Amino acid sequence: MNLAVIPGDGIGPEVVAEGLKVLTAVLPQDVKLETGTYDLGARRWHETGETLPEAELERLKSHDAILLGAIGDPSVPSGVLERGLLLKLRFAFDHYVNLRPSKLFPQTATPLAGRPDIDFVVVREGTEGPYAGNGGSFRTGTPAEVATEVSLNTAYGVERVVRDAYARAAARPRKKLTLVHKNNVLVYAGHLWKNLFDKVGQEYPEVTTDYLHVDAATIFFVTDPARFDVIVTDNLFGDILTDLAAAVTGGIGLAASGNINPAGDFPSMFEPVHGSAPDIAGLGKADPTATILSVALLLRHLGYETEAVRVEEAVSADLAERSGARTTTQTGDAIAVRVAS
Amino acid sequence: MNLAVIPGDGIGPEVVAEGLKVLTAVLPQDVKLETGTYDLGARRWHETGETLPEAELERLKSHDAILLGAIGDPSVPSGVLERGLLLKLRFAFDHYVNLRPSKLFPQTATPLAGRPDIDFVVVREGTEGPYAGNGGSFRTGTPAEVATEVSLNTAYGVERVVRDAYARAAARPRKKLTLVHKNNVLVYAGHLWKNLFDKVGQEYPEVTTDYLHVDAATIFFVTDPARFDVIVTDNLFGDILTDLAAAVTGGIGLAASGNINPAGDFPSMFEPVHGSAPDIAGLGKADPTATILSVALLLRHLGYETEAVRVEEAVSADLAERSGARTTTQTGDAIAVRVAS
Ligand SMILES: CC(C)[C@H](C(=O)O)[C@@H](O)C(=O)O
Ligand SMILES: CC(C)[C@H](C(=O)O)[C@@H](O)C(=O)O
């Protein structure tokens, strides 16, 4: 297994170290783990002005998958690293399935009363929509300024992610798929999504479907999250909903994600949903669990299903026994010990 | 007081009737209430193909304010009534302050454990952003279709709503204002918002400010909603956040809103945040409280502060004593009795 590792900014390096620790512990003896570490993020930008040089992008292609910590730092103008590095990777490697599972583990605290039974997965489109980067500013800085952001949605881009979501729904016991959009206001994009959702649905008669406006969906995330099985949605709605999903399932410290290129043309990338949390960087306070669960997604993507399940079970068992404050390393160690045994 | 009443679709007529009942009960004897009812919504569209004829729009201008029930019906293609009637009203009457208070009343049930102390108000921009209606579809219905949605943000439009939000924050005890956007991805619109937020802030040194990305904001809505005082945000983020806010403060049955034209060039419009709920229309099951609280906002807007407070206190007292199922009329009656006494 040949991985690219992008530790990134803030707590990124700390959590990635624990992810690799668990990965090493769980991999079968005969699988050799090779890693190439990429120095990308705020430090590099300050030093060289580079976010993601072409040569690095080329080199990244040689790996089986990418493990990324976190990108972003207050010392860098907002958007520079996000657009120039993180989103550039997602777009360049055509990570059109941004996969974000949400599960409330038995002993994990949730802000919701009544501890609903939460176990769903959001399939967030990852390569277009409002994230296309197609916007601009005119008469910038004047009272007549106009700033635009263009959401670009192609039948090509929507259909493939919708199809992926149906396949995932069909493979799950409940076989339920919910489309989330805002087609009563964003009528052009919304209707494109809805039409393709209905069209592809004909190939999956066994999957039950429904549609929710994004505003209504947020209500159900807190009043009845158990109703969801698989959700498919656009890039921006998916961004918002998956943070909310993380919050109700015990926090952003546990939320994993995979930026997947299903065709395998380019390496897929796995990262915690959380950011770089510069306020706690280097303090050993960051929870590496989201990264470790992202490693499970990485294992599954590369065909190591048994190992993926072992990591997930180890996390579940560890969560059940956590008490008091633990350091980043202690959590990584505890989970690594479990997967190895 | 001369009101336009648009009962609209689904449960709209039922809840509006209770809103008017409470309004009549609370108004001082010497204030004469005149109303003009407008037949707009699904029925009219089916019959005439009209959503909001110019003549009706003209006639609506003659009123002091508008009370609206709900718009939308599954028998009408998604977007037709929303864009052609509801949003048309908001845009034509330049309702740039979409005001949505969120308060967790003492005895009201919330899905959040620990019953946080929630009392904030969202100032949602109401006339531009992704709601501008500037989008299209090209090669529609073909595998090469491209659908766009253009978010239009003007310095003119952003500055005025930001200024309104600062004024509201400055008038509240905590004097705190949070800007919510996504300026690390939607960099053009996001930077316009952030720059004007910072600029106008210089006129309000007494207001404490912060900035949150919309995804992070949803997390705080469920983990720490007490941190918010006034929030200012764009049209789409405001739509999403206010439904979530409604959910954590006891549900969409209680969430009021005002579509305000602060300059008074056109009548402002007051409506519950909820939709037309066609599944329970006509059953007397709809909770009219959101409409009644919208009437309180209407009263305040027209200068009847004492009466507004009386309605809000009556609702609060009523909520504290609610038990079992009540009909729409029973709830309206109960609150009307309280405000009259
Ligand atoms: C950091 C940011 C660009 C990113 C996004 O908006 O996609 C993050 O919020 C996420 O969800 O992975
Ligand atoms: C019905 C719809 C057009 C409307 C909106 O999106 O603004 C509603 O959700 C609201 O929040 O008032």
pLDDT digits (tens, 9 = 90+) for A227-282: 999 999 999 999 999 999 999 999 899 999 999 999 999 999 999 999 999 999 99
Nearest to residue A238, comparing CAs of B93, B4, B177, B182?
A: B182
**How far is Cα B115 from Cα B111, in angstroms, rounded to an integer?**
9
> Do A118 and A89 belong to one domain?
no
Give the contacts of B323 (CB within 8 A, at least 6 positions apart): none
- The bound ligand whose nearest atom lies closest to the alpha carbon of A252 is 1
> Do A266 and A283 belong to one domain?
yes
Can you tell me which residue has the tokens 């079992």?
B324
CB atoms within 10 A of CB A310: 20
> Do A60 and A146 belong to one domain?
no
Q: Does residue A223 sit at the B interface (CB-CB below 8 Å)?
A: yes
Nearest to residue A259, comparing CAs of A75, A85, A68, A7?
A: A68
CA of B94 to the centre of ligand 1 (A): 33
Domain assignment of residue B102, yes or no:
no
What is the nearest CA distance from A61 to chain B, expressed in angstroms? 24
CATH number for position A238: 3.40.718.10
CA angle B301, B307, B311 (to 5 degrees): 100
Three-class DSSP category at A94: coil
> Do A120 and A55 belong to one domain?
no
Residue A323's pLDDT is 85
Residue A341 has pLDDT above 90, yes or no: no
**How far is Cα A275 from Cα A82, in angstroms, rounded to an integer?**
11
Three-class DSSP category at A259: strand
Contact indicator for B222, A222 with CB cutoff of 8 Å: yes
Domain assignment of residue A235, yes or no:
yes
Q: What is the dihedral of CA B38, B43, B49, B51, to 10 degrees?
A: 40
Domain assignment of residue A312, yes or no:
yes
Find the residue in A nearest to B185 (Cα).
A79
What is the nearest CA distance from A338 to chain B, expressed in angstroms? 30
What six digits make up the tokens of A178? 């919910």
Contact B143 A137 (CB under 8 A): no
List the residue whose alpha carbon is closest to atom 2 of ligand 1: A82
Measured from the Cα of A184, ligand 2's closest atom is 3
Contact indicator for A332, A11 with CB cutoff of 8 Å: no
Closest CB to B149: pick one of A145, A188, A218: A188
Ligand 2 pocket test, candidate residues B68, B239, B252, B271, most atoms within 8 A of CB: B239
Contact indicator for B51, B19 with CB cutoff of 8 Å: no
- The bound ligand whose nearest atom lies closest to the alpha carbon of A234 is 1
Q: How many domains does chain A have?
A: 2
Residues of A with Cβ-Cβ distance to B70 under 8 angstroms: none
Q: Which residues of B, range 15-34, sit inside 8 Å of A by Cβ?
A: none
> B85, B122, B185: best mutation site toward chain A, by most A Cβ within 10 Å?
B185
Contact A188 B142 (CB under 8 A): no
Residues of B with Cβ-Cβ distance to A51 under 8 angstroms: none
**How far is Cα B312 from Cα B310, in angstroms, rounded to an integer?**
5
Q: Which of A249, A271, A287 is the last residue of a domain?
A: A249
Averaged pLDDT in 10-residue chunks for chain B of 341 residues: 98 98 97 98 97 98 98 95 97 98 94 96 98 97 97 98 98 98 97 98 98 98 98 98 97 95 97 96 97 98 98 96 92 97 80
> Do A138 and A66 belong to one domain?
no
**How far is Cα A177 from Cα A201, in angstroms, rounded to an integer?**
10
Domain assignment of residue B34, yes or no:
yes
> Do A262 and A242 belong to one domain?
no
The residues facing A150 across adjacent strands are A134, B150
Ramachandran class of B44: left when φ > 0, alpha when ψ lies in -120 to 50, beta otherwise: alpha
CA of B267 to the centre of ligand 1 (A): 40
Residues recorded for chain B: 341
Give the contacts of A145 (CB within 8 A, at least 6 positions apart): A137, A138, A139, B154, B155, B192
What is the nearest CA distance from B247 to chain A, expressed in angstroms? 5
> Do B140 and B39 belong to one domain?
no
Ligand 2 pocket test, candidate residues B40, B68, B87, B98, most atoms within 8 A of CB: B87
Q: Does residue A48 sit at the B interface (CB-CB below 8 Å)?
A: no
> Do B219 and B127 belong to one domain?
yes
List the residue whose alpha carbon is closest to atom 1 of ligand 1: A82
Beta strand A268-272 with A256-260: parallel, antiparallel or unpaired? antiparallel
For ligand 2, residues with CB inside 6 Å are A 184-185, 215; B 72, 82, 86-87, 239, 273, 275
Q: Does residue B192 sit at the A interface (CB-CB below 8 Å)?
A: yes
> Do B207 and B240 belong to one domain?
yes
**How far is Cα A281 from Cα A99, in angstroms, rounded to an integer?**
26
Contact B145 A192 (CB under 8 A): yes
Q: Which of B211, B227, B249 is the last residue of a domain?
A: B249
Domain assignment of residue B323, yes or no:
yes
Q: Which of A189, A224, A249 is the last residue of a domain?
A: A249
> Do B221 and B169 belong to one domain?
yes
> Do B143 and B268 belong to one domain?
no
Over residues A275-325, the pLDDT tens digits come to 999 999 999 999 999 999 999 999 999 999 999 999 999 999 999 998 888
Q: Does residue B138 sit at the A interface (CB-CB below 8 Å)?
A: no
Domain assignment of residue B105, yes or no:
no
Measured from the Cα of B86, ligand 2's closest atom is 3
> Do B134 and B240 belong to one domain?
yes
Sign of dihedral through CA atoms B317, B323, B327, B333?
A: negative
Helix count and strand count (H, E) for chain A: 12, 12
Sign of dihedral through CA atoms A300, A306, A309, A314?
A: negative
Domain assignment of residue A162, yes or no:
yes
Contact B150 A146 (CB under 8 A): no
Q: Which domain holds residue A180?
A: 110-249
Domain assignment of residue B103, yes or no:
no
Ligand 1 pocket test, candidate residues B184, B186, B212, most atoms within 8 A of CB: B184
Contact B79 A222 (CB under 8 A): no
**How far is Cα A162 from Cα A201, in angstroms, rounded to an integer?**
9
Catalytic site includes residue B215: yes
Q: Does residue B151 sit at the A interface (CB-CB below 8 Å)?
A: yes
DSSP H/E element including B285: none
Residues of A with Cβ-Cβ distance to B248 under 8 angstroms: 222
CB atoms within 10 A of CB B156: 13
CA angle A207, A211, A215 (to 5 degrees): 145
Q: Give all strands (DSSP E) within chain A, no chain letters.
A: 2-8, 34-37, 65-70, 97-103, 119-125, 129-138, 146-154, 176-181, 208-213, 230-233, 256-260, 268-272
How far the first Cα of chain A sits from its last, in Å, is 21
